[in-house]
Structure 1
Amino acid sequence: MEALLNVAELIDHFRALSEVVPLHPIRTEHDYDEAVNAMNALLDAGAADETHPLADLVATLGELIADYDQAHYAFPDVTGVDALRFLMEQHHLTQAQVPEIGSQGVVSEILKGRRELNVRQIRALAARFDVATSVFFPTDAPVPA
């Protein structure tokens, strides 16, 4: 990089790029939609590959989108039991239909908060429902490998 910046030239290039890719903090839903659309177009063009010339642009745009998501679409804290209950409802399962946890009595105790899910049960549930094991751990708990 040259020691002296040509600021006027830099401004022109930034404006041209910003017309296509919104490189600024996302402040509105409209900004968010534009950023997501630009990100999708870049990803479709192959910029998800770290060796792609626009990979750093995708990473920067991704960080701007993530900042907005975190500020505006934060998920409530959900326990592993909440996730289990949700998945059981979505799949129309009874307590007896979740043998990965154990007997119907064990499932009942877990759903009532009398017992906690163990690592074996969590891994089995994650495999059954095709979700990450982290779904069943509190957000502040370390996730075992």
Structure 2
Amino acid sequence: MTQLAIVDAYQAFMATAQPLINIETDKQYEAALETLEQVLESANDTVDDPLNPLIDMLSHAIERYESQDQQLAAFVDEADSIPVDIALLRTLMSQHRLTGSDLPEIGDKTMVSKVLNGKRVLSRQAIERLSERFGLRPAMFFG
């Protein structure tokens, strides 16, 4: 009898969750992202949280959809190809609305441009100064 109750509960769950687990459209994708965000906010950050299997299901469904979307896959590939230090620097600049002139820790705006374009690397001294300014661990610039 208990096994039938489990099957019934699972079927009821899947009837509701199907559009989030078997994503086929952008609308379902957006709904899955929103649901995952809500579940993550509700979950405790523990290994035995009962919401962890749901988080895994939603995450895998989202990854499956993203891997099938050619534009999204190309975007992910492009993002993955950006070195960690440059990606972090661009993120900091965007979040703090900075230009190349606003980063004396690296040098003048020409030097910042060269770093962002991959023609120069961030020096150890620049990483230390940026880490101090933004309250980051220097290791974050190395992934």
User: TM tier, shorter chain?
Assistant: 0.5 to 0.7
Who is 2:126 aligned against?
121
Q: CA deviation at 1:116?
A: 1.8
Q: Give the whole-Å Cα distance in 2 for the aligned partners of 1:71 and 1:127.
A: 41
Give unpaired runs (5+ residues) of structure 2: none
Question: 2: CA distance between counterparts of 1:63 and 1:21?
Answer: 13
Q: Deviation of residue 98 (structure 1)?
A: 0.9
TM-score by structure 2 length?
A: 0.57
Distance 2:50 2:116 in 1: 50
- Structure-1 residue corresponding to 2:115: 110
Among 49, 69, 86, the alignment partner of 1:52 is: 49
SS of the counterpart of 1:99?
coil
Amino acid across the alignment from 1:19: A
Q: What is the alpha-carbon root mean square deviation over aligned residues?
A: 4.0
The question of whether the paired residues in 2 share the 8 Å contact of 1:101 and 1:107 is answered with yes
**Where is the helix percentage greater, Structure 1 or Structure 2?**
2
Three-state SS of the structure 2 residue aligned to 1:21 is helix
Per-residue Cα deviation, 1:66-118 (whole angstroms, up to 9, x for no partner): 332344324224355577467657724243x3122135564354356542224
Q: Distance in 2 between matches of 1:34 and 1:112?
A: 36
Larger Rg over CA atoms: 1
Alpha carbons of 1:34 and 1:135: their partners in 2 closer, same or farther (altered >3 Å)? Answer: same
Matching residue within 78, 83, 86 for 2:82: 78
Identical pairs, percent: 27
State which of 31, 35, 47 in structure 1 corresponds to 2:32: 35
Is 1:99 paired with 2:104? yes
